[in-house]
Amino acid sequence: MPKPRLLLHVCCGVCSSYVPERLLPDFDVTVYYENSNLYPSSEFGRRRDAAKTMADRYGVTFLEAPYEPIAWTRSVAGMAQEPERGLRCTSCIRFRLDRTFAFAKENGFGWVATTLSVSRRKDVATINAIGDGLADLHGVEFLGRDWKKGNGEVISQERAKAAGIYRQDYCGCVYSFVLRRQRDG
């Protein structure tokens, strides 16, 4: 019996270095890079190339969604001052996952998952609530997991470092980019 097809939303090479191996025993995994939040535009390519390197190592198909920063910016309008894990992040995650679910629906995937919960800076309850809501909306199952469990974040970082791929030092959007540079002085 064939494994169910799962579309795995990934955001970078680091998160792509560990989660696929957890899914591959049970699912036919396709990696989906959907990240119009990224700033500057060159960051989209840097993280894409790193994510593709890891997908290739796992032997899974890698698909890239269009980069549409104007649409993303509209989705978080009025939320510039929100802290990380606040309302802006909720809208950002919903924007990317909604597009992932829509692609899954159009292309016959029965399941969607995301690597986002592998980071300790992300709230797994928020991610999974968004995923569950979108699953109802699109009629595609959501596999909500906390990939941090079992030391997932540390393993991801170690593997990415060993692979020599790009490892970012900020979440991704212009707001997190500026905040990071301010902290660096």
Our CB check for ligand SF4 shows the closer of 60 and 171 to be 171
Size of the site for ligand SF4 (CB under 6 A): 11
Which has the closest alpha carbon to 6: 88, 85, 44, 61? 61
Neighbours of 75 (CB within 10 A): 18
Our CB check for ligand SF4 shows the closer of 53 and 176 to be 176
Q: In angstroms, give the least distance from the CB of 28 to ligand SF4.
A: 28
Q: In angstroms, give the least distance from the CB of 91 to ligand SF4.
A: 7
Give the integer Cα–Cα distance in Å for 184 and 31: 33
Only one of the segments 44-52, 81-89, 101-109, 125-133 lies at the binding site for ligand SF4 (rule: CB under 6 A); that segment is 81-89
Note whether 171 binds ligand SF4 by CB under 6 A.
yes
DSSP string for 127-177? HHHHHHHHHHHHT-EE----TTTTTHHHHHHHHHHHHT----SS-SSHHHH
| 82 torsion bin: left (phi>0), alpha (psi -120 to 50), beta (else) | beta
Q: Check: CB of residue 97 under 8 Å from CB of residue 126.
A: no
Note whether 131 binds ligand SF4 by CB under 6 A.
no
How many residues are listed for the chain in this entry? Answer: 185
Tokens for 159, please give them.
Answer: 């593997």
Only one of the segments 13-21, 63-71, 158-166, 171-179 lies at the binding site for ligand SF4 (rule: CB under 6 A); that segment is 171-179
Distance of CA 82 to the CA centre of its chain: 20
Residue choice 9, 47, 52, 88 for contact with ligand SF4 (CB under 6 A): 88
Our CB check for ligand SF4 shows the closer of 48 and 88 to be 88
Note whether 20 binds ligand SF4 by CB under 6 A.
no
Residue choice 51, 92, 124, 130 for contact with ligand SF4 (CB under 6 A): 92
Residues within the interface to ligand SF4 (CB under 6 A): 37, 84, 88-89, 92-93, 171-173, 175-176
